[in-house]
Structure 1
Amino acid sequence: MQTSSHSTPSTQSTWLHLGAGAFHRAHQSWYLNQLHQLGDTRWSLALGNIRNSASQATLDQLGRQQGVYTLEVISPDGDIDYHTITAIKKVIPWDANLSQLIQIGADPETKLISFTVTEGGYFLKDDGHLDLNHPVIVQELAEPNTFATVYGVLVAILRQRLATQAGPITLLNCDNLRHNGDCLRTGLNEYIAALGDKALAAWCDNAISTPNSMVDRITPQSDEALLERLVEQGIDNDQVPVACEAFSQWVIEDDFIAGRPELERVGVEFVKNVIPFEEAKIRVLNASHSGIAWAGALLGAQSIDESLTPQVREWIRNYVAQDVSAALPKGPIDLDEYCKTTLHRFSNAKVRDTNQRVSSDSIAKLQQFILPTLKTRYQQAEVPQATLVLVALWYLFMQRRAAGTLPFEYQDRAIESVPFETIFAEQDSLKAFAQSSALMGSLAEHPTFTEDLRDVVKQVESTLAESSTS
């Protein structure tokens, strides 16, 4: 166990974030900006990307704007506020060697590195261990400094910190994985072991902390309409604004080895145990979000709020009431009330989150958000009918993808890890789908899972057909 440091240094400290997507700028950056507005400017953000991805153009523009951008915050009633965010003091230009990113990460003033690389960006297997056979991991281990994953970048930074005695550092996972800090620690340890770097492994035992955390704020993709709304407000000098809902939550295990900003002053909850919060959020909000996106795509809807038909709402309420409530131990969160709040948030038409965005990376989302509830209910000797509805929706969604009839292009960074072409070429594609260990892990071997799913798929197909004709 690391020695936590709750103190905030009196000198300037840098917080480096990896992943310049909209969520970071609506969530972590917004929280630090709130703290700055209270007069505490001892911490500032540096922002960079690991890969030369689609968000690179945004990062480049953000650099031209000196890190300053507008956050549009939409209340449940549709009221809109605009916030100028100035917490990002360094925008790191991308280069193939990530030289500036590594230099800032290894700087003694950098005390905290956080990251949002999506659930699939950790390359973890069903058992929680690093998939050392994944092509991306294999290539990166074989070709050091190619930087395809968060592990490769962190190793480069940590090696430099070790060599220069830059001091301990906290690595803060901000992705939707249960026990996300523990997951990062396991993956990183196993990556370092695969490199055979015993000196780095020994140093990390005492020089890093990896707190678990839970993050929550719906942040749709920016579009031209957002830019037009800014112009109406007299803001015509911002090409990279972000929109989000008013609701925001951040719960963090208070295990910071090198100090931290006093984010509790702006609503961040620091706790000893994040698990009850993250389990409720992952199983209720994240799983439901995916299920609604799959259902909406099957119904021909473009956005989450448009997808919330009475039937879809009923499927989600049943899933939480029948299976999630039974699968989780009693905790501090009223799951029925949480579900009601979640559906209310999803119905906000002005947030207008797209089914394309929410359904992306569904392989990891199925495995992280939904399969744990299925497994627990089967272990409890129950057939999890309500949860199987979500799996059925995704099967039908991917069936449509195979037929080329989805209303949008589906994007998934793990798509090559599952042989979907083979699965949907089978005469019994549902059996091939249900018994794919790459998808279902140990559930693929469950004696009744395939036929249980087949029964529910038939029911869902029938219900969707009725919905489309009514």
Structure 2
Amino acid sequence: MTTNTWLHIGLGSFHRAHQAWYLHRLIAQGDTRWHIAAGNIRNDAEHVVAALTAQKGRYVLETVSPEGERAYEEITSIQKLLPWQADLQPLIAEGAKPETRVIAFTVTEGGYYLNTSHGLEVANADLACDLKGGNKTIYGVITRILEQRMANGAGPLTLLNCDNVRHNGERFHDGLEEFLQLTGKQSVIEWLAANATCPNTMVDRITPRPAADLPARIKAQTGIDDKAPVMGETFIQWVVEDNFRDVRPDLEAIGVEMVESVIPYEEAKIRILNASHSCIAWAGTLMGMKFIHESTLTDAIYAVADRYVTEDVIPSLGDNGIDLPTYRDVVLKRFTNPYIEDTNQRVAADGFSKIPAMMTPTMIECYQRGAVPHATAMLPALFFVFMEQWHKGQLPYEYQDGILDADAVHAMFNAEDPVALYASDKALFGELAQREDFTALLREKIQAVYSLIR
């Protein structure tokens, strides 16, 4: 039987709780035509890769419902681990093999280096490095892979973005094409057009960092001594545009929703789930809480998230075929799961990417239909106060953000009018950065945040 490789770049907990779980279900049903090879661009998770290598790629996934029902499953779909090295040659060589038919990736929202106009942030240090021939970003790595495929005569493939980026396949494709244009690689652009597709996807499963007691719990429940377990909520969803370039796994057989357009699903998920999640994390942190569930169960914070979705998002999305009020309630219920112990620190990350991608579009649409986005403006207001605490060194944890310009943020808060500088940031707010009424609205909401967290 022919075996095909699904190469995954970004071997984090989310991939292992989500895409790898789906591919495992295919194998468990007896379809062994596909397996996953996986590795990382960054050298920050090699302890996990080493542990998985020792376990021959196997690990246990614990899932838990809001009611505390736990289930355990050993995942077997990752059958090749690619160790990190500076030139990423193991990853590139695997991607260049003819049997690699799908290359998927989870590199976080910030890993695409896109501005509010969806163009590349070419001034970013990692991206600038890759434009000179490096391989610190997904664009540099995929370019190397495509060049190797061309040299090897390898066949067509699908490039599958599995991150929370609106129109993620299209955004990645356009970013890659711009990268190739900037590096003068016209032959690769032509090969890409003829031999690859970049479907849009929507992925969903809350996946916290594994709890310290997870290995002991798994040992007690399964007898397996696992050095690299993962945990997630029971809920899972994967919606994929049916636009693969070549052969693909029988994804329908394992519950993946193959659709003509992902847009209604991704808009609902990005605006309702992802934006609310970050809102709750920033607010919970400012109010002295550690976990998402305790933050969500705080009435004042719940009200901010609920009002944001109800007053601004649902009118913006309109009748898109999804029962949005029910989806809102399901999402907020998921956030109250105390057994996940998802931290505010994890969810609060990457705010400088999340605001333009997840929140600014709703505010722009509110203004377009003649409404003032009072509810949505609370979210960037929360982030302003959150970063003010970071500036003062008063956050209870290290804030992680792939595109954080620390000097610029400190300079903003040291300026005479930090709010004016914040509101005029086109990278965050696009066309709203020109509006005096938007600046006034942010001032009002930042004061409301101060009142909220007192």
Place the TM-score, normalised by the shorter chain, in its bin. Answer: over 0.9
Alignment of 1:161-172 (within 5 A): 161-172=149-160
Give the aligned partner of residue 17 of structure 2: 26
Q: In structure 2, which of residues 364, 377, 387 is the aligned counterpart of residue 398 of structure 1? A: 387
Q: In structure 1, which of residues 90, 93, 99 is the aligned counterpart of residue 83 of structure 2? A: 93
CA deviation vs aligned residue, 1:347-406 (integer Å, no higher than 9, x gap): 000011000000111111111111111111122222100001111111111111111111
Answer yes or no: is 1:36 the counterpart of 2:27: yes
Letter in 1 for 2:397: F
Give the aligned partner of residue 284 of structure 1: 272
In the alignment, the residues of structure 1 paired with residue 128 and residue 91 of structure 2 have an alpha-carbon distance, to the nearest angstrom, of 23
Segment drifting more, 163-172 vs 436-445: 436-445
In the alignment, the residues of structure 1 paired with residue 116 and residue 13 of structure 2 have an alpha-carbon distance, to the nearest angstrom, of 28
Answer yes or no: is 1:254 the counterpart of 2:242: yes
Give the aligned partner of residue 219 of structure 1: 207
In the alignment, the residues of structure 2 paired with residue 417 and residue 312 of structure 1 have an alpha-carbon distance, to the nearest angstrom, of 28
* Cα contact 1:320–1:335 (8 A) shared by 2: no
Give the aligned partner of residue 220 of structure 2: 232
Letter in 1 for 2:3: Q
- Report the Cα offset of residue 454 of structure 1: 0.8
Letter in 1 for 2:207: T
CA deviation vs aligned residue, 1:237-275 (integer Å, no higher than 9, x gap): 211000000000000000011111011111100000000
- Report the Cα offset of residue 234 of structure 1: 4.6
Alignment of 1:214-363 (within 5 A): 214-308=202-296, 309-363=298-352
* Cα contact 1:51–1:147 (8 A) shared by 2: no
TM-score by length of structure 2 reads 0.98
Answer yes or no: is 1:455 the counterpart of 2:447: no
Letter in 1 for 2:317: L
Q: In structure 2, which of residues 114, 118, 123 is the aligned counterpart of residue 133 of structure 1? A: 123
In the alignment, the residues of structure 1 paired with residue 112 and residue 388 of structure 2 have an alpha-carbon distance, to the nearest angstrom, of 26
In the alignment, the residues of structure 2 paired with residue 316 and residue 362 of structure 1 have an alpha-carbon distance, to the nearest angstrom, of 16
Alignment of 1:7-156 (within 5 A): 11-53=2-44, 55-142=45-132, 144=133, 146-156=134-144
Answer yes or no: is 1:173 the counterpart of 2:161: yes
Counterpart secondary structure, 1:448? helix
In the alignment, the residues of structure 1 paired with residue 199 and residue 181 of structure 2 have an alpha-carbon distance, to the nearest angstrom, of 21
- Report the Cα offset of residue 73 of structure 1: 0.8
Answer yes or no: is 1:414 the counterpart of 2:387: no
Give the aligned partner of residue 468 of structure 1: none
In the alignment, the residues of structure 2 paired with residue 404 and residue 438 of structure 1 have an alpha-carbon distance, to the nearest angstrom, of 24
- Report the Cα offset of residue 418 of structure 1: 7.3
Counterpart secondary structure, 1:252? strand
- Report the Cα offset of residue 236 of structure 1: 4.6
In the alignment, the residues of structure 1 paired with residue 288 and residue 74 of structure 2 have an alpha-carbon distance, to the nearest angstrom, of 36
Give the aligned partner of residue 182 of structure 1: 170
In the alignment, the residues of structure 1 paired with residue 432 and residue 344 of structure 2 have an alpha-carbon distance, to the nearest angstrom, of 27
How many pairs align? 453
In the alignment, the residues of structure 2 paired with residue 220 and residue 203 of structure 1 have an alpha-carbon distance, to the nearest angstrom, of 39
Alignment of 1:192-211 (within 5 A): 192-211=180-199
* Cα contact 1:105–1:157 (8 A) shared by 2: yes
- Report the Cα offset of residue 417 of structure 1: 7.4
Task: Give unmatched runs, 5+ long, in structure 1.
Answer: 1-9, 466-470
Segment drifting more, 453-462 vs 411-420: 411-420
In the alignment, the residues of structure 2 paired with residue 236 and residue 43 of structure 1 have an alpha-carbon distance, to the nearest angstrom, of 25
Give the aligned partner of residue 362 of structure 2: 373
Letter in 2 for 1:323: D
Q: How big is the alpha-carbon RMSD for the aligned residues of Structure 1 and Structure 2?
A: 1.2
Counterpart secondary structure, 1:111? strand
CA deviation vs aligned residue, 1:409-434 (integer Å, no higher than 9, x gap): 11111112771111110232212211
- Report the Cα offset of residue 154 of structure 1: 0.5
Letter in 1 for 2:111: G
CA deviation vs aligned residue, 1:270-296 (integer Å, no higher than 9, x gap): 000000000000000000000000000
Give the aligned partner of residue 6 of structure 1: none
TM-score by length of structure 1 reads 0.94
In the alignment, the residues of structure 1 paired with residue 167 and residue 68 of structure 2 have an alpha-carbon distance, to the nearest angstrom, of 34
Could you say if the C-alpha distance between residues 419 and 440 of structure 1 is closer, same or farther in structure 2, counting changes exceeding 3 Å? farther
Q: Which runs of at least 4 in structure 1 moved beyond 4 Å after TM superposition?
A: none
Letter in 1 for 2:193: D
- Report the Cα offset of residue 175 of structure 1: 0.2
In the alignment, the residues of structure 1 paired with residue 223 and residue 170 of structure 2 have an alpha-carbon distance, to the nearest angstrom, of 42
* Cα contact 1:72–1:81 (8 A) shared by 2: yes
* Cα contact 2:106–2:163 (8 A) shared by 1: yes
